[in-house]
Structure 1
Amino acid sequence: MLGLENIRLSLSGNLWVYLLLAVLLVAFSVFIYRYTLPRVSQGLKLTLTIIRALIFVLILLLIFEPLLSISNRTFEKRSTFLLVDNSESISAKDSIKRSEAIQNLISELNSEEALNLKVFSFGKNIDSLSSENPKLSFDEPLTNYSSLIDLFKRNEATINSAALVSDGIITEGADPTYQFEKMQFPLFTVGIGDSTTKNDVEIFDIKHNQFIYAGSQTKIQTVIRQNGFDGKQTRASLFEEGKLIDSKDILLSNSGINQIEFLYSPKDGGEKKLSVSLTPITGEFSQLNNSKTFFITVLDTKVKIALVSGSPSADVSAIAKALESDKNIQVNKFIQISRDKLWDNKKSNSLDSSSVLFLIDFPSTNTPQQLMNQVLAKIEKGTPFFISVSLANDFGKLKLFEKHLPFFIRNISQEAFQVQPEIQKNEFVSSFSQIGNSIAVWNNLPPVYQSSAEILPKPESKVIVKSKVRDAILNSPLIIVRSIGYQRSFSINASNYWRWSLQTSENNPDFFRNFVNEIVKWLSLSGNKKQFILSTNKKIYSPGEHVDLTAELYDNAFNPIDTAQIALSISQAGNKNELIMTPQGNGIYTASYTPDSQGDFVSTANTKVNSFSMAPATTRFSVIASSLELLDTKMRVDYLKLLANSTNGKYFSIEEQSNLLKNLIDAAKKRDEGILTKSEFELWNYSWMLGAVIFLFGFEWFLRKRFGMI
């Protein structure tokens, strides 16, 4: 149901000034048609006077930039969403008792008609349940709170409030607290689980670079958490492919936290499987969390970068400084000083020999055609590239590169405005890097200037950072990445990002440098031109968790092939499983596999193109000894309270069902006021307004001509 709430017309100037000028112009229209030559009828005089007055009033209105605001209130039947954690950790202890408590809660809430209850279960995925007879198995191998955000966004207009029944343990995805804060309805959290603290020692976290260079030393920082073993001794060991690299004896701290640091220097390139393990201590609640496995990609050689810029700028200086801070990077600069002069062009062949391109404000109006052709030829050969786009670009010239860019260029404009970055953490981690993904850091970065030209990501591209003005997300994203075939590209749709290197100097002094170096490493992974690629959605899995595999297949010209048959073989400890991958279009093939044992798995894909066998594509993954859900089953009460408070909701234990029901009913009553939507129309910016003035001028001229007044 729709109800008109308010209509308001506002002007950029003072209303009384407008009315005074309008009266004077109407009076002037009366005056100029008071006497006419030749004399005409009073009816024609009146018509001409009204037309001229309308012309003056409309022109004056355009000058005062009228804005029409219309407010509507929409009334829809809203629902209360109940989300139940269906993961394994819920049933780790007292499973029957907890299951009964959840079923009783659903039954009590469903009996209140005012709530219009809708029930969902969640873990790795979200499923809708019957509120009359909900079936919960508590067997989901992972808990992903981030998936709830999409559900809430799709249904936000019809949600009164939401209740989340969980133990607060997140085993997949990012912490969604920041996204929950933006919701327009309260979230009530209901704690269910084991709140007792167990005597245990665990590897809590491992911090490491995702990409490193062969022969270079990197730090692997390990956080060990314990309870009940103050002053006890254990040993932490670092392994590469099962081979011992280093070990350290540790005296467990009374604070419950120990931090140790391993130094790791890989000898050659490739994907390395590393793990950190603790020697078990008698009396531990579980030894399954005494080890943690992770993968690191080792790059073989020193990276040669050509830094090409359309003009000198602070952004160029900041990027160059960050690049030159890494001894594994060789930077050759091509900075356009004028149409005929390049700065620091010491080696004429250094652009041709570069393995990565950094294009900043390139091409510009001063960029010569020869340099454009040289850069375009490098990109066409598959050289990975970084590009930043701003008003310094010549968008007409940039259009020549559009085929290879990660975005489309629409509605070219020469205006810019300030925007704030809005990191998309899940996409950032899965499509780019695990380094520098802190929401808090990105929220505190200073604004940058973004062109008002419409930059739209291509379908195969990923948006890892969006642009926002205040809290409004813009259509043109800030950072886009693209990986297709053997080529990768990374784009920043802004200028003045050099300020990111200054703003974070106090709390995060290495943020900008690390961010730029991660871009280099990510781009460098393009590697050789591979026509056949196989990958998994991640590297570490829990027992029973689905493994999603993706293959990409291209011909010699790197056009996607959609008609091939790809046979997939998955091997582990002498056992082999055979699958046929399903084509998805655009050269993409997929398959899903559920391992029935733990250990290291090798996946090999084989296919033929025009009767010729392609070189097999391989990848590997590991299944850890125990479910992530069972490594630590203690209920996170503090986190559930934080989540509720961030949305103006409240936390309840599973026993406080009556208090929860009362709060949900109150929330439903408050939200019955409907949704107020406001539409604004800039009347001065509509072509029909100008068209009306032109029509009235033409009609007045026609009448004057018709009756001999001209």
Structure 2
Amino acid sequence: METANLLYIIIAVFVALFLSIFQYIFQNKEKSQFNYWLSFLRFLSLFSIFLLLINPSIKKETSQIIKPNLVVAVDNSSSIKFKSKAENIQNLVETIKNDAELNSKFNIEYFSFGTKLKPLDSLNFNEQYTNLFDPLNKLSKVFNNGINPLVLITDGNQTAGNSIAFSNYKSPVYSFVVGDTTTVEDIFIQQLNVNENTFVNNQFPVEVFVNYTGNQNISKNLSVFNNGKMVFSKKINFSKTQNVYTESLFLTSKNKGINYYTVQIDELINEQNTINNSKEFSINVIEDTSKILILTAVLHPDLGMFKKAIESNKQRSVTILNIDKYKSESAKYQLIILYQPNNKFKNVLNEIQTKKMNYFIVSGLSTDWNFLNLAQSNFTKKVISSSENYNAVFNNSYSSFLNSDIGFSTFAPLEDRFGSITFSVPYQTLLFQKIGSVQTEEPLLATFENNNQKGAVLFGENIWRWRMGSFSESKTFEYFDGFIANLMQYLASNNNNNRLNASVNPIYFSNETIQISANYLDENLNLDNRAKIWLTITNKEDKKQTKIPFALVNNGFVAQLSNIASGEYLYSVSVENHDETISGAFKVLPYEIEQQFTQSNDADLKLLASTTNGKVYYDADQTVFINDLVKDKRFKSIQKSSTLKTPLINWKWLLGFIVFCLSLEWFTRKYVGKI
């Protein structure tokens, strides 16, 4: 007890004694037994009140031994089981748990990791990915006071997450590498590069990267199969120094729809891991056959030029028809070209606007501009009777589709009525007008989109001279025909007016969660979040069917499938109480990324050890590993002292005692008639 508190208590005794004696002894002439009893009760009450105010306490010194933390993180991925090292890891963990010296020196915390870090409960080695960065990142935030060494028990093969080179773990990291780090002879497909889409009968590129680890000079066949049929084969050579090979090949797309291919490299003799000797890819083959109608009221060389240039692409066909013979056949065509329209084009222009078809207008000296300005509302041209020659200037800022300058400024001028042009819809100018030596901001060729409808207008005739001029310069029609092909591709592309849309990949892997997204639009083409959308998948082999609902997530619908067995599946996306349906197919591959590595990887772990003043151990170093941890003088227990103030009184009991004494005093005075 502090000296001051003791002094206060002594003073409190004398003050309480003085006041109680003064009140009941000195002030009363009668020296009765009751006065002495009342004086004693008053003394107890006053002293207790003073004691409650003083609140005396004693200081108690305590000390605590705090052991350093040893954090043990164990790789629980399937690659451990694949390398037959599961038992080794379990034995090592049990050894750490049962080692008396280690547990005496450290407070040991256990975690497991694969895709994510978790407290260690049990090890099953079924995690589909190894994220080495995750335990380093999260544990550095939890154990951030003092020195907390970390033990990573892993094979070192990372298949997910950031590189451990970006780790900011401050304490030493001890990596225990299980498995053989010796380089094993292996040949494998490292990577494939391929476009997602192509056209029927088109040559599409495939880029294949093949790696070899070994010291031999070998020759192996690289093959590509489509539905079990070999479509490409080539013998390639490898050596210790020539261990990476890249093959760029072209395949022909023949069948419309999703086509599946397998790229395969022959196995080595006694190769341990053959899973990585093949990879699959898919490509969506589109039937890009476009039918284009040219309507005209005049005969002109431009018509033959358009037909030849457009049909240079075998996927497109052109029909030239006099406007007098047109009978509302627009549904057959993806694009209608209106060549120098006049009042005979009234019905077809009405049909185009009603059905929101894509169209291309070419004007010239025979164009009836008074009619055309009234028949459509996208643009107008106020003309005079005189004509003008217009040269072309390419607009490098044009962005609706990719194009390049094929020498437009050198081509012969086009001829049209002179006048000013005004657009009432957003548009982009592909070619500007140039009159003589003066370049203007008026468009010579422009494209526009309005209400899900595409259009283009060329203000001038005699474009046939451009094709001849391009051939004269380059000795080929390829450049000019390519320019026309790009314009036709843009204008003839189908508009997506489907209210129901779904995004489904053609290939998934069995160890991933399959996520399929969809959206459904109302009649105003806004997202209908009230819709109930269903996904139905059917296994092609056993015909087993699964039906799950889509969930509304943010601005769309999402359906998730997990634990799907490898195989081929048919899918159907439908809307409840509506007729819209989307069907297709996808394939689930039995791909195990954790089985792509034949040996353990200690390179990154060595770098981590050097940056954290740790160390790397291997299967045969178990005893050395534990001894190093026990004997490392950096990890010491800390004695933490603390002073604890303990009150000598319980204020609740003391307060009750005060009330009791005062009450007893009052009843006594009442009894003897002093109140």
Q: TM-score, normalised by structure 1?
A: 0.46
Larger Rg: 2
Q: TM-score, normalised by structure 2?
A: 0.48
